[in-house]
A = this chain, B = another copy of it.
Amino acid sequence: VTGSGRAVLGIDVGGTTFTVVLLAADGEVTAAAEEPMPIGLAPTAALKTVTATARTLLATANLLPRELVAIGLAVPGSVDVARGVLRSAPNLPGWRDVPVAAIAADALEAPVAVDHDVRMAAVGESRLGAGRGVASFVCMTIGTGIGAALVLDGRPYRGASDAAGEIGHVPVATDTTAMELCGCGRRGCLETVASGRAVAERVRRLARAGAATSAPALAGGDVDAISARHVFAAAAAGDAVCARVVEDAVTALTAGVTVLVNVLNPEVVAIGGGVSAAGAALLDRLRAGVRAAAWSPAVDVVRIVPAALGTRAGAIGAALHAAEHGGRRTC
């Protein structure tokens, strides 16, 4: 970065981490930071922590916020894009009707365009990643939460209230007695079985109840520190308790992807987010499951591939989308 006014900043706020990226005019990531989300703080204080990291990143690149072409902010949950307000976010408890655009713009002293995190990840992937040149594209993110965003016939599709693609809250389980409460207030949602949070929490609970699992050891002996990554690593190493939890997650994810394939008949489904870092084995099992479960004319043409931009997809998409729309709202 030269300090010229052609750089773009993207910020992606999640339930577990936040990511900041600085992009050059050609889309190259010139600087990036990923830090734990300060979920213990109130929304305004938490956003100020995030923007402080962004300011540090910019300072290192000898840039001021106002020198940027645009700043894009991706947030989870239900977003009022036009007003820049986060209405609610199951994975950010306590965040209700938060004017995130105004808070971030105030802290950065520059305009900030807000949009939905998963949709921004899809924009990033469709512009620079797994969905490049694809007409009917679904980008699914499996992280703390689970969502999907749709680029249909080449255009981002939002739905009637900016809520299209909420696959994380599709019911996948039927044994109501065993189903956990979802952040959305219902039971049986895909997220409650297959999100990173759900996978980690299920193993933590089993470990506390005395199940024979190596996950606590992987987490340094601290049951509370068990993360989805520990669970996937333990399962891969033959831990039966973790393998069962992963199996349930894969079964639920298969149902979710099957729904997307049957309803949307996409050319590509890209899988991104923290849990997808579990790697090729997870993707192979998903592909096999979807092939067995989905409608042949749709499953015969779909490619299920890893997202290409990693955990930065949302921040990259937010930056690109904001730049495309002059830092204001959107398509």
A residues 285-325 near B (Cβ < 8 Å) are 292-298, 300-302
Tell whether A265 pairs with B171 under 8 Å between CB atoms, given A78-B297, A166-B298, A184-B296.
no
CA of A87 to CA of B295, assembled, Å? 14
Give A96 Cβ to nearest chain B Cβ, in Å: 13
Contacts of A165 in B (CB 8 A): 263, 265
Assess whether B159 is in contact with A258, with CB atoms less than 8 Å apart. no
Q: Is A132 an interface residue (CB 8 A)?
A: no
Interface-forming stretch among A3-11, A23-31, A150-158, A203-211? A150-158
Give A139 Cβ to nearest chain B Cβ, in Å: 13
Assess whether B164 is in contact with A263, with CB atoms less than 8 Å apart. yes
Give A61 Cβ to nearest chain B Cβ, in Å: 37
CA of A296 to CA of B163, assembled, Å? 9
Q: Is A259 an interface residue (CB 8 A)?
A: yes
Contacts of A298 in B (CB 8 A): 159-161, 163-164, 166
Q: Is A170 an interface residue (CB 8 A)?
A: yes
Contacts of A265 in B (CB 8 A): 158-166
CA of A158 to CA of B267, assembled, Å? 11
Q: Is A114 an interface residue (CB 8 A)?
A: no
Assess whether B161 is in contact with A157, with CB atoms less than 8 Å apart. no
Of the candidates B158, B186, B262, which one forms a contact with A166 in the assembled complex, judged by CB atoms under 8 Å apart? B262
Assess whether A163 is in contact with B297, with CB atoms less than 8 Å apart. yes
Within the oligomer, what is the number of copies of this chain?
2
Assess whether B160 is in contact with A263, with CB atoms less than 8 Å apart. no
Of the candidates B161, B162, B170, which one forms a contact with A259 in the assembled complex, judged by CB atoms under 8 Å apart? B170
Assess whether A300 is in contact with B161, with CB atoms less than 8 Å apart. yes
Contacts of A226 in B (CB 8 A): none
Contacts of A260 in B (CB 8 A): 263
Contacts of A302 in B (CB 8 A): 160
Assess whether B160 is in contact with A152, with CB atoms less than 8 Å apart. no
Give A81 Cβ to nearest chain B Cβ, in Å: 12
Whose C-beta in chain B lies nearest to the C-beta of A79?
Answer: B297
| A165, A255, A296, most chain B CB atoms within 10 A | A296
Of the candidates B163, B258, B264, B294, which one forms a contact with A164 in the assembled complex, judged by CB atoms under 8 Å apart? B264
| Between-chain CB contacts (< 8 Å), 17 pairs | A136-B164, A152-B152, A153-B157, A158-B265, A159-B265, A160-B298, A162-B265, A162-B297, A164-B298, A166-B262, A166-B295, A169-B294, A170-B263, A171-B293, A174-B174, A185-B296, A186-B292
Give A contacts to B, CB under 8 Å.
78, 87, 135-136, 148, 152-153, 155, 157-167, 169-171, 173-174, 184-186, 255, 258-260, 262-267, 292-298, 300-302
Known: A159-B298, A260-B263. 7 other contacts (CB 8 A): A78-B296, A136-B164, A163-B297, A164-B298, A167-B263, A169-B294, A186-B292
